[in-house]
């Protein structure tokens, strides 16, 4: 029998979680990565596997509304990625590629098959890398939540991070992280939620405290890997049916980013959340959960999975 874990709650006006630490591991399942690092994960519910992969500087508890709300229909698996929260022992040498390898190993460890995989922010990059490296045989459908295939903007590319982020901003961001991590965490948290919605202040405050519990040097190292990724040319090879979700009020990525992904991925469609920013799974959780359920049901409906395959996906790059 699988151990049952208790998901950590973000606030919906009623709860703030405890600070991160070794105590978070009590009673939680873990597996040993191939280099001996312990990776902790939540594993709740029964049914089709739903794999939830969090973003940079976050943890599995950011998916609490899905762990709580979808475990009646799915087996919901949500790791704390290496270097984050309960899996902080492996904070050296963090890269997107290493996190993807851990996800591949976790899926093999749990023998997951037919899964729906949700990647929020950096989690989408982790899943893209995992899919390209062999996870496609275990994943029936992928959900991308507000992410770009290339974070820095540059010549001929304007669908990266908002406010004109470019490659030269990465070392400046790393320096700011190391200089005052608490202040940097607050800035990141404010940009997590929808613009112009003061009622999201409690959520941003909770997120800031959770972000601040991570190690700034480790997060700075991972940020360099994250901003160095470029999946634009590789995505044409991802045949997995994909749902692209984005918040219309996102402070990080504009609607053009989701539109680009819809064009370049061979089997993809997009859905916008009117009242969400970068985290629709937290900002509009009920609608988000229904959207996931409908997508998963469509994957079982027939050979086309409700998403047509384009005959010339590579042409979308032109």
pLDDT of residue 301: 56
Q: What is the pLDDT of residues 234-247, one digit of tens each?
A: 999 999 999 999 99
The answer to whether 86 touches 54, Cβ cutoff 8 Å, is: no
Q: Name which of 318, 169, 139 is nearest 232 in CA terms.
A: 318
Please state the rounded mean pLDDT for residues 73-80. 98
| Banded pLDDT at 92 (limits 50, 70, 90) | confident
In this model, does residue 70 exceed pLDDT 70?
A: yes
* pLDDT (average), residues 142-158: 97
**What pLDDT sits at residue 175?**
98
Q: Are 241 and 307 in contact (CB under 8 A)?
A: yes
> Mind listing the domains of the chain with CATH numbers?
22-317 (3.40.50.1820)
Least confident window among 40-49, 184-193, 262-271, 305-314: 305-314
Give me the mean pLDDT over the 77-104 stretch: 93
Q: What percent of the chain has pLDDT over 70?
A: 87
User: pLDDT tens for residues 105-123?
Assistant: 999 999 999 999 999 999 9
Question: Does the pLDDT of residue 312 top 60, yes or no?
Answer: no
Strand partners, 154: 157
* pLDDT attached to residue 238: 97
Question: What are the backbone dihedrals phi and psi of residue 110, each rounded to the nearest 5 degrees, phi first?
Answer: -90, -5
Strands 30-32 and 38-44, bridge-based pairing: antiparallel
pLDDT at 260: 98
Question: pLDDT grade, residue 149 (50/70/90)?
Answer: very high
Residue 55 is predicted with a pLDDT of 98
Average pLDDT, stretch 32-55? 96
β-strand partners of 268:
242
Please give the pLDDT value at position 310. 55
Residue 5: predicted pLDDT: 46
pLDDT-derived band of residue 88, with 50, 70 and 90 as boundaries? confident
Question: Is the pTM for the entire model greater than 0.75?
Answer: yes
Mean pLDDT score of the chain, rounded to an integer?
90
């Amino acid at each position: 029998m699988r151990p049952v874990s208790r998901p950590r709650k973000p606030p919906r006006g009623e709860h703030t979680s405890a600070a991160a630490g070794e105590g978070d591991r009590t009673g939680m399942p873990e597996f040993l990565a191939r280099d001996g690092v312990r990776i902790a994960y939540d594993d709740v519910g029964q049914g089709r596997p739903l794999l939830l992969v969090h973003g940079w500087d976050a943890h599995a508890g950011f998916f609490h509304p899905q762990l709580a709300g979808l475990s009646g229909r799915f087996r919901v698996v949500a790791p704390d990625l290496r270097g984050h929260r309960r899996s902080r022992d492996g904070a050296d040498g963090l890269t997107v590629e290493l996190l993807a390898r851990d996800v591949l190993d976790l899926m093999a460890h749990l023998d997951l098959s037919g899964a729906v995989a949700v990647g929020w922010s950096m989690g989408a990059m982790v899943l893209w890398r995992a899919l390209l490296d062999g996870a496609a045989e275990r994943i029936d459908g992928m959900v991308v939540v507000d992410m770009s295939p290339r974070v820095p903007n540059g010549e001929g590319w304007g669908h990266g991070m908002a406010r004109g982020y470019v490659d030269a901003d990465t070392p400046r961001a790393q320096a700011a992280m190391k200089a005052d991590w608490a202040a940097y965490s607050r800035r990141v948290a404010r940009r997590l939620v929808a613009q112009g919605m003061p009622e999201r202040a409690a959520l941003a405050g909770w997120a800031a405290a959770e972000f601040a519990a991570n190690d700034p040097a480790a997060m700075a190292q991972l940020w360099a890997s994250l901003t160095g990724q470029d999946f634009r040319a590789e995505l044409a090879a991802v045949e997995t049916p994909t749902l692209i979700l984005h918040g219309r009020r996102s402070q990080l990525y504009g609607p053009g980013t989701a539109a680009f992904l819809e064009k370049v991925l061979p089997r993809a469609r997009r859905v916008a959340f009117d009242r969400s920013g970068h985290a629709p799974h937290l900002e509009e959780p009920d609608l988000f959960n229904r959207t996931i359920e409908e997508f998963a049901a469509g994957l079982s409906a027939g050979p086309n999975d409700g998403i047509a395959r384009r005959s010339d996906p590579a042409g979308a790059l032109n």
